[in-house]
Amino acid sequence: MKAPVRITSAVARQPIREVERQRDDVESWWLGDIEREAMSRRHVQSLAGIVAAKKAIIRLAGEPPCDTGPADIRIGHDERGAPVVEALPANLASRLPGKLHVSITHTREFAWGLAVLERPA
């Protein structure tokens, strides 16, 4: 029998038009160098999804956000293309003990990011 786990989650919505209008500013504030390079080949919906996922992670850690910027959170993709958290700053990781999962989806107008923290009960 598996040990019980405690699940905590947060969701964030990101308007895609907002990202389109301010793409350069959004990229410089929300993306690190590695993400920025990968994002140059992707659509604005992907960028909005990454922003929404990072907002969800920050919400999950508790407001107000920690003293590091969202560019310090790195979200990549696994071999199937699913989003994964590749890096968290230490002060944020200490506020999220356990296994962190993210999910991203979008429509033409909005992107959503979901962050789920799984830890022992």
What's the pLDDT at 64?
60
Q: Which domain holds residue 107?
A: 5-120
Residue 65 — pLDDT band, cuts 50, 70, 90?
low
What's the number of domains the chain is made of? 1
Question: What's the whole-number mean pLDDT along residues 62-76?
Answer: 78
Torsion-angle region of 26 (φ positive above 0: left; ψ -120 to 50: alpha; else: beta)? alpha
Evaluate whether 76 touches 51 at the Cβ level (below 8 Å).
no
Torsion-angle region of 97 (φ positive above 0: left; ψ -120 to 50: alpha; else: beta)? beta
Residue predicted with more confidence, 66 or 86: 86
3-state secondary structure of 108: coil
Encode pLDDT of 93-102 as tens digits: 888 889 999 9
Return the DSSP state at 51. H
CATH of the domain at 25: 3.90.470.20
Encode pLDDT of 23-38 as tens digits: 888 888 888 888 888 7
User: Does the pLDDT of residue 46 top 70, yes or no?
Assistant: yes
The whole-angstrom separation of Cα 36 and Cα 50 is: 11
